[in-house]
C-alpha cells in the first residue's frame, strides 16, 4: 500500500540556498524542455520524446549550462517525466496544456525519485545534506519519491511517498453497513440516518479577511503600474516598481490563504474519518463542479466547503479498510423523490427545507430524504457489481427499491 506523509522541514540558511538552486535548475529544465517540445511541434510537426530531451541533459551540463551540474541529476530526469505526464493529461483532456514555470510563483517544488533517507527528526536530501525536520509519523516501508516544496509563505515541506509492500485489504464481499450522504451548503453533509455535519463557519469568516487582503494588494499593484507608466517604461518592467509594501502584502495574503487551506484540509480529514469509521460503503452524488461553478455565489460556497476534497479523502479512507465509495449519477432526482413511496414532487424548490409527500403523507427533511434516496441507488449499484448487501435501515420497503431506480 502506498502512503503519503507530509513533514515540515527546517533547512538552515545554507540549505535554503541549495534548495533554491535545485528548484531553479529543475524549473530551468522544465521550461527548456517545454520550449523545445513546442518549437519542434510548431516548426517541424515533430514530437520530441522525453528520451530525446533526456539525452540532451549531459550536453547542456558540459556545454552551455554548466551550473546544471549542481542539480541532482535524478531530480532533473524526474521533472522531464512530470512534463511527459502533463502532456499525457492534456491529451486525455484531464488538464490544461503544460505551462512554463515562473520564478516568482508562490509555491516551488521538485522531486527526488530515490536516495532520500529519514532518521529520527532529520531527512537526508541528495545535494542538500541532512535537514532538520519534524517527523510526526513513522516513515515505514520503502521511500518511493520525495517532493520538496517551499510554500508562498516560505515554509519548507517534504512529501514522502512510501510503499509498505502490503496489499490493500481485500474488498469487503458482504456489506452490512451502507451510508447515503447528501452534500449541501448549509449542512455540508447530511446522512440517511439524519446526522448533519454543518458547514464550518470559520471558512466564511476567513474568506472576508482574504478578500480584504486581496483588495489591498491589488491597490498597491495598481499604484505601481501608474508609477511604471509615468516613468515611461513598459509594463514588462513592472516588477522593478514594486516596493517592499507589495512584498509584505503578498506574504500577508499568502499566509491567510495557507491558514484557510490548512483549516479546510483538517476539517475534511476529520469528517471523512468520522464517516469512514461508521460504515463500509458510502454513496454520494457525483458533483458537477463545472456546472455549479457557473452560479458565482454558489461557487464561492462550494469552494468553501471543498466537497471534492472531502469525497476524495473519504474514498481513500474507505478503500484502505476494504470499503467502497459509490458515486450516484447526479441526474438521479434524489431530492424530489419520496423515499417512502417513490412519488415525485416536482414542485419542490431550493428554499423548501421540509416537505410533505402528497401521495403517502410522509413529512420529509429535504436533505435526509435525499440521502436516503442516494443510499437506495448506491445499494443497487453495489448489488449490480455482484456484492452481497444486507444493510438495514432507512425504513425501506425492498419492493420500492426498483421503483426508486426507475
Residues that bind Zn ion (CB under 5 A): 338, 340-341, 343, 357, 359-360, 362
Burial of residue 175 (CB within 10 Å: 0-12, 13-18, 19+) is buried
CB of 174 to Zn ion, least distance (A): 31
Cell numbers for 368, please give them: 435526509
Is 14 marked active-site? Answer: no
Is 285 marked active-site? Answer: yes
Whether the Cβ atoms of residue 173 and residue 388 lie closer than 8 Å to each other: yes
Give the residue with the Cβ less far from Zn ion, 9 or 357. 357
Angle at 378 between CA 279 and CA 4, to 5 degrees: 55
Give the residue with the Cβ less far from Zn ion, 24 or 333. 333
- Provide the terminal-to-terminal Cα distance of the chain, rounded to the nearest Å: 39
CB of 364 to Zn ion, least distance (A): 8
CB of 287 to Zn ion, least distance (A): 27
CB of 393 to Zn ion, least distance (A): 18
CB of 394 to Zn ion, least distance (A): 14
Give the residue with the Cβ less far from Zn ion, 4 or 359. 359
CB of 382 to Zn ion, least distance (A): 24
Q: What is the DSSP string of 171-231?
A: PPSEE--EEEEEE-SSEEEEETTS-EEEPPHHHHHHHHHHHHHHHHHHHHHHHHHHHHHHT
Give the residue with the Cβ less far from Zn ion, 149 or 369. 369
Cα-Cα-Cα-Cα dihedral sign, residues 99, 103, 104, 105: positive
Q: What is the DSSP string of 357-386?
A: -TTT--EEEHHHHHHHHHHHHHHHHHHHTT
Cell numbers for 203, please give them: 471558512
Q: Which of 165, 168, 193 is nearest to 180 (CA)?
A: 193
User: Which one is catalytic: 182, 192, 304, 315?
Assistant: 182
Alpha-carbon distance of 12 to 103, in angstroms, equals 21
User: Which one is catalytic: 72, 192, 285, 304?
Assistant: 285
Can you say how many angstroms the Cα of residue 149 is from the centroid of all Cα atoms in its chain? Answer: 16
Alpha-carbon distance of 57 to 151, in angstroms, equals 28
CB of 346 to Zn ion, least distance (A): 14
Alpha-carbon distance of 30 to 85, in angstroms, equals 12
Cell numbers for 379, please give them: 445499494
Give the residue with the Cβ less far from Zn ion, 105 or 359. 359
Give the residue with the Cβ less far from Zn ion, 360 or 385. 360
Cell numbers for 329, please give them: 449519477
| Four-CA torsion 330, 336, 337, 338, nearest 10 degrees | 140
Is 192 marked active-site? Answer: no
User: Which one is catalytic: 72, 192, 304, 367?
Assistant: 367
Cell numbers for 377, please give them: 441507488
Give the residue with the Cβ less far from Zn ion, 35 or 352. 352
- Residues with a known catalytic role: 182, 285, 367
Amino acid at each position: 500500500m502506498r502512503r503519503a506523509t507530509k513533514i515540515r522541514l527546517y533547512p538552515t540558511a545554507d540549505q535554503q540556498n541549495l534548495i533554491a538552486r535545485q528548484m531553479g535548475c529543475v524549473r530551468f529544465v522544465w521550461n527548456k524542455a517545454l520550449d523545445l517540445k513546442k518549437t519542434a511541434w510548431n516548426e517541424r510537426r515533430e514530437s520530441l520524446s522525453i528520451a530525446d530531451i533526456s539525452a540532451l541533459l549531459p550536453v547542456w551540463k558540459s556545454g552551455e549550462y554548466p551550473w546544471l551540474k549542481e542539480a541532482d541529476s535524478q531530480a532533473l530526469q524526474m521533472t522531464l517525466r512530470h512534463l511527459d505526464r502533463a502532456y499525457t493529461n492534456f491529451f486525455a483532456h484531464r488538464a490544461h496544456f503544460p505551462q512554463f514555470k515562473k520564478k516568482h510563483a508562490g509555491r516551488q517544488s521538485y522531486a527526488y525519485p530515490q536516495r532520500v533517507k529519514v532518521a529520527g527528526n532529520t531527512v537526508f536530501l541528495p545535494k542538500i545534506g541532512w535537514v532538520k525536520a519534524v517527523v510526526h509519523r513513522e516513515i515505514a516501508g520503502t521511500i518511493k519519491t520525495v517532493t520538496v516544496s517551499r510554500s508562498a509563505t516560505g515554509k519548507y515541506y517534504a512529501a514522502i511517498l512510501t510503499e509498505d509492500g502490503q496489499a490493500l485489504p481485500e474488498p469487503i464481499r458482504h456489506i452490512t453497513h451502507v451510508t447515503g450522504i447528501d452534500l449541501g451548503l448549509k449542512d455540508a453533509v447530511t446522512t440517511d440516518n439524519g446526522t448533519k455535519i454543518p458547514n464550518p463557519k470559520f471558512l466564511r469568516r476567513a474568506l472576508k479577511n482574504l478578500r480584504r487582503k486581496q483588495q489591498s494588494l491589488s491597490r498597491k499593484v495598481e499604484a505601481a503600474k501608474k508609477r511604471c507608466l509615468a516613468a515611461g517604461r513598459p509594463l514588462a518592467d513592472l516588477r522593478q516598481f514594486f516596493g517592499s509594501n507589495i512584498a509584505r502584502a503578498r506574504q500577508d495574503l499568502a499566509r491567510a490563504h495557507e491558514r484557510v487551506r490548512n483549516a479546510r484540509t483538517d476539517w475534511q480529514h476529520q469528517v471523512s474519518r468520522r464517516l469512514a469509521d461508521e460504515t463500509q460503503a458510502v454513496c454520494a452524488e457525483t458533483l458537477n463542479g463545472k456546472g455549479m461553478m457557473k452560479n458565482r455565489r454558489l461557487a464561492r460556497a462550494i469552494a468553501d466547503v471543498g466537497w471534492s476534497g472531502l469525497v476524495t479523502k473519504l474514498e481513500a479512507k474507505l478503500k484502505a479498510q476494504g470499503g467502497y465509495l459509490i458515486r450516484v449519477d447526479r441526474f438521479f432526482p434524489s431530492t424530489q423523490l419520496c423515499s417512502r413511496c417513490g412519488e415525485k414532487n416536482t414542485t419542490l424548490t431550493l428554499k423548501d427545507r421540509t416537505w410533505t409527500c402528497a401521495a403517502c403523507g410522509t413529512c420529509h427533511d429535504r436533505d435526509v430524504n435525499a440521502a436516503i434516496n442516494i443510499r437506495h441507488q448506491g445499494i443497487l449499484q453495489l448489488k449490480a457489481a455482484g456484492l452481497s448487501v444486507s444493510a438495514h435501515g432507512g425504513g425501506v420497503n425492498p419492493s420500492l427499491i426498483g421503483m426508486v431506480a426507475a
